Amino acid sequence: MIENEKNKIIYKENLLPKAMLFVGNQGLGQPEFAEKMVKVLSSEGYFKYKDLLQIHGATIGTVRNTYNLMESLELNEKAVFVEEADRIANDSTIAEFYNYINTNENAVVIFSVSPENEIRFLNRIKALKTKIAYTLRFEDYTEDELYNVFQNKLADMDIFIEEDAAEEVRKLIKKAKIEESFENIAYIEKLIQRIIIKQSMIKPEN
């Protein structure tokens, strides 16, 4: 096992990296990381495909739709990142991914799930699970890290908040982090949008 400060990687030496699993809540940059990883590993000669197609598990419907997707990936020489893979519609679709990885030596498939859906997803994919060479875990940002992101994003818009308001923001972040499927940076962006909208509705004093 290889570990660093933010992420944990589990590598099975006897497997080629044709299928990977990313585990983490939303807003941690999984798609961006996947895109950069594919480009780097392609430039180093580990992958043939250097481009990445990003799709959402909920959009993969019928088996025929999945078969067409696999043909397109091979034809256009693209790896694929499946966000919220636990929302893939049916088991036959998962079987198509297994067949694609088995029959295409250049296939690269990255599945991404939230921590609370990891076990359910792994129990569901059965044979496909044996093809997963890497599991990469993305840890949530800390409260301080999220507040720093909040401050930086406001500063970029020339917006500054008073100390009492800052304390309220910290309380909101702390409360939100307890929830399942916490959205991290996406939560901060939504919070800023709510603040801007709320402030815009305040009538100026005469």
pTM over 0.85: no
131: its two tokens: 């093809």
The model's pLDDT over 137-156, given as tens digits with 9 standing for 90+, comes to 999 889 999 999 999 998 88
Whether 137 and 4 have beta carbons less than 8 Å apart is answered as no
Which pLDDT value is given to residue 89? 75
The model's pLDDT over 19-60, given as tens digits with 9 standing for 90+, comes to 999 999 988 999 999 999 999 888 888 788 888 989 888 887
Over 60: is that where the pLDDT of 90 sits? Answer: yes
For 34, other C-beta atoms within 10 Å of its C-beta total 23
Burial of 182 (0-12, 13-18, 19+ CB in 10 A): buried
200: its two tokens: 């815009």
Whether 86 and 56 have beta carbons less than 8 Å apart is answered as no
Position 11 confidence tier, pLDDT thresholds 50, 70, 90: very low
Which pLDDT value is given to residue 63? 54
Nearest to 37 by CA among 185, 136, 139: 136
Over 60: is that where the pLDDT of 6 sits? Answer: no
Which pLDDT value is given to residue 24? 93
The model's pLDDT over 56-81, given as tens digits with 9 standing for 90+, comes to 888 876 656 766 777 887 778 888 99
Q: How far is CA 154 from CA 145, 176, 182, 192, 195, in A?
A: 14, 19, 21, 8, 10
3-state helix, strand, coil in the chain (%, to 5): 55, 15, 30
The pLDDT of 171-187, averaged and rounded, is 84
